[in-house]
């Protein structure tokens, strides 16, 4: 029943998208500046029916309808209700349905929220967006159908991978999808803008909100993913430069560059084609990331079951998308004839864009390089975190200085009048840096520079609040929190302590100024797993701090899996992080203990960064 409903709704959506394209196309030629009511009505219908389709799948998960392959493979009757729901998008098929929902909703919202803009521009955006929707609907229906039946219908499902049964990971995909699937709407708008020659500052105004929305959600999505990786994967880090993480970061760089170049387009009416390229690039990178992850071409830690036909379909879709976009770009491209002063705000924004492109190329090369060497020389290689760290970190130092100075530059022609203030700020930053390092007794040139440059950004952002009568508050929030982010990452990285050792029950071990004692183990039965909970006393002999940490070893029933749950104690100064694992036929427990300073502030900084985006959205809505 649910399968039929779902398939019917998917087919209906194909029909509706085709109708929207047809009516919009006819509507292009009408002389008045009104979009026909038909287009609006079908759009409402389209959004409603895709939502119902999604709820059909959710209910299939809720009632555990194992006649659907997707439900059978990813759910279980004993799974908590929350994870039954989140299981809907915790798999390849369901997550693609989420793709289409966001494509569709953004298409509808863009249509109704842009009444001030020319009719044909809106209609073309709608047409192109619906071609994207069609592409994904066909993919879902014929290759990755969440409503496919299995017969005979099994009595029990296989269950969701236990490490995906987690609140952070339940909200991670929707957040991230609003981010990078949301970028589709300015991909469509960019093409529409080129076709209709709607190429001035009002184009920038029409897409700015959408760029801000997708950027803020993308930032939040990445944050939630990192937090999850931090407490669930058990190695205590939050960024691994894994291909999947990189795939989410690539569109983020493009979006960030776009966000800044739009400022120039909005203000000075230049950089139009560059902004268009960034619009196209953002969504192209989003689809590329999906292709890399879902096709299984890259060695990644994500669990989507791989299927080469999926890869081929996405690759074909991606190629068509790129070809069309590039073709229209070449057709319409006119070299701009505007002189930009080398000392002006415009140049600073361009500098931001260069940096973003540099990061983007670095991460893209690192991610794709293993594929090339495998294809060319058959050498299996991987590119590890040291590559990214040693390329990106030195560049970030310079970047932070520009980020501090740039926003205060004047449009058109700038003069440095604040040199005195900047020298004072840098002096303060250097001083603070040495206080920090004197206090912690550790030294490396690069970490000193990172701390100094981030302090420089922080201090000058704070100065901005006091200096000007009217300042751009959202910008200050974002730049300030980015400065804090780099500062906290730098300090955290430099002053983390890690101890690995093996311990028997009742045994005590002292390493440097830490004393560890494994008191006992308890066996606990939960609804869908058994857990061995250790009770480990940690004594910091320096600060006289004593804590009991309770790491777990969990044995899940469906599917049969063993996982190690970290025990984390957070406060505003530091995190204690401890994992315990066990090996059969031995009394020893394998323990990893970490003391990570200022961990929580890293999360707060990223949340604030994203908040800056939302605030900017409000500001934009208020003035336009």
Positions that interact with another protein (CB under 8 A): 161, 163, 233-235, 296-297, 299, 301-303, 339, 342, 354, 358, 361-362, 365-366, 369-370, 373, 379-384, 386-387, 390-391, 500-504, 559-564, 579, 581, 583-586, 588, 590-592
For tokens 């009516």, the residue is 23
CB of 366 to another protein, least distance (A): 7
CB of 341 to another protein, least distance (A): 9
In angstroms, what CA-CA distances link 143 with 25, 135, 147, 302, 487? 29, 12, 11, 20, 46
Coil/strand/helix, residue 54: helix
CB of 605 to another protein, least distance (A): 26
510 or 624, CB closer to another protein? 510
CB of 362 to another protein, least distance (A): 5
User: What dihedral angle (degrees, nearest 10) is formed by the CA atoms of 178, 179, 183, 185?
Assistant: 20
As a residue count, the chain comes to 624
167 or 559, CB closer to another protein? 559
37 or 560, CB closer to another protein? 560
299 or 624, CB closer to another protein? 299
100 or 160, CB closer to another protein? 160
Q: What is the 3-state secondary structure (H, E, C) of 301-351?
A: CCCCCCCHHHHHHHHHHHHHHHHHHHHHHHHHCCCCCCCCCCCCHHHHHHH
CA pair distance 48, 543, nearest whole angstrom: 59
CB of 500 to another protein, least distance (A): 4
90 or 135, CB closer to another protein? 90
User: What dihedral angle (degrees, nearest 10) is formed by the CA atoms of 295, 296, 297, 299?
Assistant: 150
CA pair distance 10, 453, nearest whole angstrom: 52
Beta bridge partners of 592: 500, 579
CB of 583 to another protein, least distance (A): 5
55 or 387, CB closer to another protein? 387
Q: What is the 3-state secondary structure (H, E, C) of 141-156?
A: HHCCCCCCECCCCCCC
Q: If you write DSSP's letter for every residue of 491-517 in order, what string do you get?
A: HHHHH-EEEEEEE-TT-EEEETTEEEE
296 or 418, CB closer to another protein? 296
383 or 531, CB closer to another protein? 383
CB of 188 to another protein, least distance (A): 31
Kindly state the greatest CA–CA separation across the chain.
Answer: 85
Judge contact between 505 and 588, C-beta under 8 A.
Answer: no
Taking residue 569's Cβ as centre, other Cβ atoms within 10 Å add up to 14
Judge contact between 78 and 558, C-beta under 8 A.
Answer: yes
**Of residues 548, 589, 552, the one with CA closest to residue 569:** 548
Using the CB atoms, write b or e for 1-32: b if 16+ within 10 Å.
Answer: ebbebbbebbebbbebbbbbbebbeebeeeee
Structure tokens at 598: 């200022």
498 or 520, CB closer to another protein? 498
CB of 350 to another protein, least distance (A): 10
CB of 333 to another protein, least distance (A): 19
CB of 83 to another protein, least distance (A): 16
CB of 340 to another protein, least distance (A): 9
200 or 587, CB closer to another protein? 587
Structure tokens at 607: 């949340």
């Amino acid at each position: 029943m649910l399968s039929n409903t779902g398939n019917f709704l998917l087919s209906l959506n194909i029909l509706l998208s085709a109708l929207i394209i047809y009516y919009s196309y006819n509507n292009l030629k009408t002389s008045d500046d009104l979009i026909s009511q038909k287009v609006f009505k079908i759009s409402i219908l389209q959004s409603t029916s895709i939502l119902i389709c999604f709820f059909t799948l959710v209910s299939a998960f809720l009632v555990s309808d194992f006649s659907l392959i997707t439900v059978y493979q990813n759910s279980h009757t004993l799974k908590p209700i929350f994870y039954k729901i989140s299981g809907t998008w915790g798999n390849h098929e369901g997550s693609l349905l989420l793709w289409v929902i966001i494509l569709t909703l953004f298409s509808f919202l863009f249509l109704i929220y842009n009444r001030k803009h020319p009719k044909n521009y809106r209609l073309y955006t709608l047409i192109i967006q619906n071609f994207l929707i069609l592409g994904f609907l066909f993919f879902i229906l014929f290759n990755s159908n969440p409503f496919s039946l299995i017969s005979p219908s099994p009595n029990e499902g296989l269950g969701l991978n236990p490490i995906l049964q987690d609140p952070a990971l339940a909200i991670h995909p929707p957040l991230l999808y609003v981010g990078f699937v949301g970028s589709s709407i300015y991909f469509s708008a960019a093409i529409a803008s080129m076709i209709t020659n709607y190429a001035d500052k009002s184009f920038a105004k029409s897409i700015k909100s959408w760029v801000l929305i997708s950027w803020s959600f993308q930032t939040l999505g990445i944050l939630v993913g990192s937090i999850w990786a931090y407490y669930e994967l058990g190695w205590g880090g939050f960024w691994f430069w894994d291909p999947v993480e990189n795939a989410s970061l690539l569109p983020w760089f493009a979006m960030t560059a776009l966000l800044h170049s739009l400022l120039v387009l909005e203000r000075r009416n230049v950089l139009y084609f560059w902004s268009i390229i960034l619009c196209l690039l953002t969504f192209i990178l989003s689809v590329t990331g999906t292709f890399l992850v879902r096709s299984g071409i890259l060695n990644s830690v994500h669990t989507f079951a791989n299927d080469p036909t999926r890869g081929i379909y996405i690759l074909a879709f991606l190629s068509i998308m790129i070809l069309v976009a590039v073709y229209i770009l070449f057709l319409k491209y006119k070299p701009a004839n505007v002189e930009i002063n080398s000392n002006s705000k415009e140049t600073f924004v361009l500098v931001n864009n260069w940096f973003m492109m540099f990061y983007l190329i670095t991460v893209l090369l690192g991610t794709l390089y293993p594929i090339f060497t495998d294809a060319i020389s058959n050498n299996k290689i991987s590119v590890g975190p040291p590559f990214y760290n040693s390329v990106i970190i030195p560049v970030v130092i310079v970047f932070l200085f520009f980020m501090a100075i740039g926003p205060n530059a004047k449009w058109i022609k700038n003069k440095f009048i604040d040199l005195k203030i900047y020298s004072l700020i840098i002096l303060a930053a250097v001083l603070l840096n040495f206080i920090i390092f004197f206090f912690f007794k550790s030294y490396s040139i690069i970490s000193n520079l990172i701390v100094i440059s981030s302090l420089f950004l922080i201090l000058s952002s704070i100065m901005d609040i006091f200096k000007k009568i009217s300042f751009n508050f959202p910008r200050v929030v974002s730049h300030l929190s980015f400065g804090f982010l780099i500062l906290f990452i730098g300090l955290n990285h430099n002053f983390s302590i890690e101890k690995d050792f093996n311990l028997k029950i009742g045994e005590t071990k002292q390493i440097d100024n830490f004393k560890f004692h494994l008191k006992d183990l308890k066996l606990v039965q939960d609804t869908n797993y058994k857990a061995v909970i250790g009770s480990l006393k940690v004594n910091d002999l320096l600060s006289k701090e004593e804590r009991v940490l309770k790491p777990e070893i969990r044995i899940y029933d469906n599917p049969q899996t063993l996982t190690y749950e970290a025990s984390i104690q957070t406060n505003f100064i530091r995190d204690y992080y401890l994992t315990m694992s066990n090996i059969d036929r031995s009394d020893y427990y394998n323990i990893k203990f970490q003391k990570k300073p200022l961990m929580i502030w890293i999360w707060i900084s990223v949340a604030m960064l994203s908040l800056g985006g939302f605030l900017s959205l409000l500001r934009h809505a208020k003035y336009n």
